[in-house]
Amino acid sequence: MKKAFMGVRLKRLREERGMTQQALASAIGLSLSYLNQIENNQRPLTVPVLLKLNAAFGIDVQLFSEDDEARLIGDLKEALSDPVIGEAIVTAELRALASNMPAVGRAFVSLHRRYRRAIEQSAALAVRLGDDRQDRAVSAVSTPFEEVRDFFYARHNYIAELDEEAERIAREENLPPGNMAAALMARLSTRHGVRVLVAASEDGSQDAQRRFDQSAGVLRLSRRLRSGQQAFQMATQLAFLEQSETINAIVAAGSFADDESRRLARIGLANYFAGALLLPYSAFRDMAEACRYDIDLLGQTFGVGFETACHRLSTLQRPGARGVPFFFIRVDRAGNISKRQSATDFHFSRIGGTCPLWNVYEAFAQPDRILTQLARMPDERTYLWVARAVSHGQGGYHAPRKTFAIALGCDLQHAGRLVYSDGLDLTNPMAATPIGAGCRICERTNCPQRAFPPVGRHLHADENRSAFAPYAAS
């Protein structure tokens, strides 16, 4: 661990507990002068001191994680790239804010997101009134989905209450990994009087995968679902039946803007519970470590698809039993991000698209093949990325299909734990592809693939000079 000056965070932690400097110093066995120097950033917060804080107060050392700081810097950079701000703020200033006053930084990010949502809602209302406002740069309205995405992002994609309960039920029922459908069907019947029917939809619709008739006590599942998919849908219904109070409490604490966001959050949390039930934390994590995070082997063992296995890998952040901290993302061919969850600090822009040099887009050209990439961000952090295209259909030649690229990434420091690092030169900085968070906020000035000039930089337009890399800026 490099030197970490986090005095403001330590001071805030002390004040939240109503403790004086002397009381905290005594509790963790430090001299008053030494603690004072830490709080005033004259000494770094070392690992031994973190361990003493953990022993005395049960404080999770992730509270002082540099990954959290990097994540906040990315969020601040994106918010402050908005032209309406009118200020060019350098990364060093953002790093100082994220390190010394993280609560202020998070509050600013939250305010900016609320501002963007207000602009989007205003634009949507204007369209209804006949003013399409096409001359103004406004992103598409997707507030509820963004709210729910932000909620899971803020919790590092780990929901302890549901994860622990799901594991308890899996252990209590002795649910067999990879073959849970029959056991879940029995639990629905014996505990809730719910019959499960696997049949075609009553109205002939090809779309409904799960439909619950509460009055009749019948759960209908599409016959097109595989056994693992049926188990997931039954586990989701169990979440609504057995974990409703827990889910409601989590949603109530989430500060969602409206009922639509709260309903989406409930569905997201029920799906989280379902994944945690089918892939119990300890068993899944132990298997992941044993097979070096081989996604195909995990899917075969637990009877789930590539996407579900990747999503579960991104949630393994239980204190004291953490797996590799992953970033999980799902995109379509147009670059639209439909899922984005993170247990780490990796950051992609919400505006202006993602980086075209990222291997997730190459996955569409090579279906069913797992691609690997070492990618280096402008801050010199390097990540190992694993990407693969997945496709789902409803059967039949004319039936529509949906195709996505799934990507799972981790910091280079964890790459050796993954089977996908075999054959890669993890020690050579030149082996990594330079990528960015998105063209509008990317700091790289010499990228030939740049689609937009960077926001907040002075653009050089020279009639007498042409360069390979577009949008020369400083």
341 assigned to some structural domain: no
- On whether the CB atoms of residues 312 and 294 are closer than 8 A, the answer is no
The reported pLDDT for the residue numbered 229 is 92
Whether 87 and 187 map to the same domain: the answer is: no
pLDDT one-digit tens code per residue, 154-203: 888 899 999 999 999 999 999 999 999 999 999 999 999 999 999 865 55
Instruction: Say if residue 273 is in the same domain as residue 155.
Output: yes
CA angle 345, 358, 380 (to 5 degrees): 50
Beta strands in 118-243 (DSSP E): 195-199, 210-213, 218-222
Whether residues 263 and 203 share a domain: the answer is yes
What letter would DSSP give residue 61? G
95 and 147 part of one domain: no
pLDDT digits (tens, 9 = 90+) for 248-307: 999 999 888 889 999 999 999 999 999 999 999 999 999 999 999 999 999 999 999 999
Residue 446 lies in a domain: no
* Domain finish residue from 81, 103, 125: 103
Structural domain contains residue 159: yes
User: Do the domain assignments include residue 335?
Assistant: no
CATH of the domain at 65: 1.10.260.40
Same domain, yes or no: 28 and 91: yes
Burial class (CB in 10 A: 0-12, 13-18, 19+), 461: exposed
Write down the pLDDT at residue 466.
76
Same domain flag for 170 and 61: no
Answer with the one of 263, 278, 293 that is the final residue of a domain: 278
Question: How deeply is 92 buried, as exposed, middle or buried, from its count of CB atoms within 10 A (0-12, 13-18, 19+)?
Answer: exposed
Burial (CB < 10 A; 0-12, 13-18, 19+), residue 420, is buried
For residue 131, pLDDT beyond 60: no
Q: Is the pLDDT of residue 135 over 50?
A: no
Residue 153 lies in a domain: yes
Task: Give 84's DSSP letter.
Answer: G
b vs e for 350-383, b when ≥16 Cβ sit within 10 Å of the residue's Cβ? bbbbbbbbbbbbbbeeeeeebbbbbbbbbbebbb
Question: Quick one: 97 and 161 in the same domain?
Answer: no
Q: Which two three-digit tokens encode residue 276?
A: 């945690």
176 and 258 part of one domain: yes
Q: Are residues 16 and 81 in the same domain?
A: yes
Q: Where are the alpha helices (DSSP H) in 303-450?
A: 306-313
Give the chain's domain count: 2
Both 91 and 146 in one domain: the answer is no
Q: Are residues 203 and 264 in the same domain?
A: yes
Res 438 pLDDT > 70:
yes
User: Residue 470 and residue 452: Cα distance in Å, rounded?
Assistant: 9
Phi/psi for 307 (5° steps) reads -65, -45
| Bigger pLDDT: 378 vs 387 | 387
Over the stretch 266-275, which tens digit does the pLDDT of each residue have?
A: 999 999 999 9
Same domain, 190 and 258: yes
Q: Write phi, then psi, for 195 (nearest 5 degrees).
A: -90, 140
Who has greater pLDDT, 422 or 436? Answer: 422
Residue 403 belongs to a domain: no
DSSP string covering 272-336, please? HHHHHHHS-HHHHHHHHHHTTS-HHHHHHHHT--HHHHHHHHTT---TTS-----EEEEE-TT--
Domain boundary among 216, 245, 278: 278
Joined together, the tokens standing for residue 54 give 């953990």
Q: How much is the average pLDDT of 133-140? A: 46
Instruction: Say how many C-beta atoms besides its own lie within 10 A of residue 336's C-beta.
Output: 12
Mean pLDDT of 424-435: 90
Q: 120 and 145 in contact (C-beta within 8 Å)?
A: no
Is 0.75 topped by the overall pTM?
A: no
E-assigned strands of 298-400? 327-331, 337-342, 371-376, 382-393
**Each residue's pLDDT tens digit, 189-245:** 999 999 999 986 555 555 678 999 999 999 999 988 889 999 999 999 999 999 999
Q: How far apart are CA 333 and CA 357, in angstroms?
A: 14
Is residue 63 over pLDDT 60? no
Structural tokens at position 366: 């090579």
Q: What is the mean pLDDT of the chain?
A: 83
- Say if CB 282 and CB 321 are below 8 A apart: yes
Identify whether 298 is part of a domain.
no
| DSSP3 helix / strand / coil % (the chain, rounded to 5) | 45, 10, 40
What SS3 class is residue 121?
helix
Domain with 243 in it: what CATH number?
A: 1.10.10.2910
Q: What is the DSSP letter of 454?
A: P
Q: Quick check: is 170 in a domain?
A: yes
Domain that holds residue 81: 7-103
Residue 369 CB-half CA count within 13 A:
10
